[in-house]
Amino acid sequence: MGILPQTMQPRYVNVMSVRKLCDGFQANAQNYSPNMMGSFFQRAVLLQNLCHAKQLLMTQGCESFVEYFTKVFALEKKDQKKIGFLK
């Protein structure tokens, strides 16, 4: 077994597991700098979007997946989404 528990392996990650991870991280917020907190939550939102895109691909097919993925990563809207590392 690797460093991550079985439930955090890529095939088992879903939106709820990411939200639980965020809750655990937020519970220890006093141990982290504001910059680290911001970076963590930006990446968590991105991971939630990717999990949702994966779910769309598995349940509704490629067309819904591509449409959603295109909306999320539209670079002209990156500032509105506050995904700093896409700048």
Give the residue extent of every domain in the chain: 6-86
For residue 82, pLDDT over 60 is answered with no
Q: Tell me the two tokens of residue 84.
A: 């700093």
Tokens describing residue 77:
């809207």
Q: Is the pLDDT of residue 87 over 60?
A: no
Residue 62 confidence (pLDDT) above 60:
yes
Contacts of 60 (CB under 8 A, 6+ apart): none
For residue 86, the model assigns a pLDDT of: 56
The 10s digit of each residue's pLDDT in 13-59 is 888 988 988 888 888 888 889 898 888 888 888 889 889 998 999 99
CB of 65 closer than 8 Å to CB of 57: yes
